[in-house]
């Protein structure tokens, strides 16, 4: 029986296999390193089990079809993912499980995945995505522009809702809770949602349609209860920190017919496994999974313009993972957030294009004239960049933008 898990050069049927590309760092020959992954994650282990029959190996064994340089491509038969239960936890336990700890591999990074339709069709995908959010906000072309209420924690519900109102009056289309705010005693979920909903109603009456994403990340058994409380109090959008919550937390909300509002997905903690180029999981992989489980918007980075570490080519790849054709699933809108301010807009939008949700927390609330002026300045910068007008020029007739640029500069 051949048990090397090698099928180099074999053309895999993309509907018969979940295909993964790994970047591997190892002292072993690259084919051997690849076969260690395929073996560990399908029918094998460190020795040949006497119970491993030819039939089991042939039917359920993963295959290394490419091993070149430091890259290997492994195909996992779809039957390894069959059955009613398992979901994303099982997918990840196979394609991103024990392999990360194998002593024989000094580093391994899951770079990309291609999930066959027979698997994706079991998941909801985004209900709204880019086109749905544009419709709700009546913003057909330009990027969606949002803020994150700052400080991250500490504001009581009334002051919190006032911030949202001021941001809406400045013209923003979106706002959101920060990733660390859920239901703390100083700003309980119910009181916060109710206060924000009142202000969003007022903004709508005044001609400023806006939505706010309420963070309901919590223990798995409570997330639907948290969603209920938020929805009963008028929530128009919910938010989940997907890596601390788990992909299933997004899925359960996307699948529940009583939820029905767009889901904003934050990536807090991603740097623990995405930042090292030689070990971990890439953001594009996370993007495909978030899209599959139903995230309508997902943070992917700021293309080197903000405060967070960036790998620009990977961010462009993330954008594609969220928006390119994927078995007919709606595109998820990429979110650019983290250390942004008006001066970044031309460079950011040149890289992101217009199908993006841009957000600034400090870059709105830190404006010397307050939140409304900060929001106005951000919108002015986006308008200027959209129309190809240099910020310096536009700022001559737009005071809020001028002050923002004086405060933070152009980079």
Report in angstroms how near the CB of residue 129 gets to ligand 3PG at its nearest. 20
**Closer to ligand 3PG at the Cβ: 92 or 268?**
268
Per the annotation, the verdict on 2 as an active-site residue is no
Rounded Cα–Cα distance for residues 204 and 270 (Å): 35
Judging by beta carbons within 10 Å of its beta carbon (0-12, 13-18, 19+), is residue 371 exposed, middle or buried? Answer: buried
**Which residues touch 58 (CB under 8 Å, ≥6 apart)?**
none
Catalytic residue among 63, 169, 264, 266: 266
Report in angstroms how near the CB of residue 148 gets to ligand 3PG at its nearest. 4
Rounded Cα–Cα distance for residues 360 and 335 (Å): 11
**Closer to ligand 3PG at the Cβ: 233 or 302?**
302
Q: Which residue ranges make up the site for ligand 3PG (CB under 6 A)?
A: 148, 150, 178-179, 307, 337-340, 359-363
Rounded Cα–Cα distance for residues 348 and 313 (Å): 14
Partners of 366 in the β-ladder? none
What is the three-class DSSP state of 349?
helix
**Closer to ligand 3PG at the Cβ: 113 or 371?**
371
Report in angstroms how near the CB of residue 362 gets to ligand 3PG at its nearest. 3
Please provide the DSSP assignment of 362-400 as one string: HHHHTSTT-HHHHHHHHHHHHHHHHTT--HHHHHTT-HH
Catalytic residue among 142, 150, 169, 341: 150
Instruction: Name the residue with the smallest CB distance to ligand 3PG.
Output: 361
Our measurement of the distance from residue 190's CA atom to the centroid of its chain's CA atoms, rounded to an integer in Å, reads 26
Report in angstroms how near the CB of residue 11 gets to ligand 3PG at its nearest. 42
**Closer to ligand 3PG at the Cβ: 2 or 307?**
307
Give me the half-sphere count of Cα atoms (radius 13 Å) on the Cβ side of residue 195: 17
**Closer to ligand 3PG at the Cβ: 117 or 351?**
351
Per the annotation, the verdict on 63 as an active-site residue is no
Report in angstroms how near the CB of residue 206 gets to ligand 3PG at its nearest. 25
User: What is the set of active-site residues?
Assistant: 150, 266
């Amino acid at each position: 029986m051949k048990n090397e898990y090698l099928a180099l050069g074999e053309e895999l049927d993309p509907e018969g296999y979940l295909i993964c590309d790994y970047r591997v760092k190892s002292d072993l020959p690259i084919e051997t390193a690849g076969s260690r992954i395929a073996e560990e994650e399908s029918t094998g282990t460190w020795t040949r089990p006497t119970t491993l029959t030819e039939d089991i190996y042939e039917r359920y064994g993963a295959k290394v079809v490419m091993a070149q340089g430091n890259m290997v491509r492994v195909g996992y038969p779809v039957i390894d993912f069959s059955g009613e239960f398992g979901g994303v936890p099982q997918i990840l336990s196979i394609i991103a499980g024990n392999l990360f700890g194998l002593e024989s591999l000094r580093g391994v990074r899951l770079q990309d995945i291609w999930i066959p339709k027979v698997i994706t069709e079991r998941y909801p995908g985004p209900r709204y995505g880019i086109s749905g959010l544009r419709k709700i906000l009546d913003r057909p072309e330009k990027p969606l522009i949002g803020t994150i209420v700052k400080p991250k924690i500490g504001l009581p519900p009334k002051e919190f809702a006032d911030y949202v109102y001021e941001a809406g009056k400045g013209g923003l289309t979106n706002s959101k809770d920060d990733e660390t705010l859920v239901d703390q005693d100083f700003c309980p979920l119910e009181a916060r949602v109710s206060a924000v909903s009142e202000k969003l109603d007022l903004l709508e009456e005044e001609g400023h349609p806006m939505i706010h994403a309420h963070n309901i990340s919590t223990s798995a058994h409570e997330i639907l209860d948290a969603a209920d409380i938020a929805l009963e109090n008028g929530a128009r959008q919910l938010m989940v920190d997907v890596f601390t919550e788990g992909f299933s937390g997004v899925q359960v909300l996307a699948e529940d017919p009583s939820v029905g509002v767009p889901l904003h997905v934050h990536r807090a903690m991603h740097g623990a496994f995405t930042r090292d180029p030689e070990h971990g999981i890439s953001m594009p992989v996370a993007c495909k999974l978030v899209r599959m489980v139903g995230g309508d918007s997902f943070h992917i980075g700021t293309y080197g313009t903000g405060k967070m570490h960036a790998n620009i080519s990977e961010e462009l790849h993330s954008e594609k993972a969220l928006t390119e054709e994927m078995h007919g699933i709606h595109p998820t809108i990429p979110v650019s957030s983290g250390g942004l301010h008006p001066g970044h807009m031309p460079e950011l939008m040149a890289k992101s294009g217009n199908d993006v949700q841009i957000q600034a927390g400090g870059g709105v609330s830190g404006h010397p004239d307050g939140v409304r002026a900060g929001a106005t300045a951000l919108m002015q910068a986006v308008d200027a960049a959209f129309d190809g007008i240099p910020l310096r020029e536009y700022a001559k007739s737009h005071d809020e933008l001028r002050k923002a640029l004086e405060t933070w500069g152009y980079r």
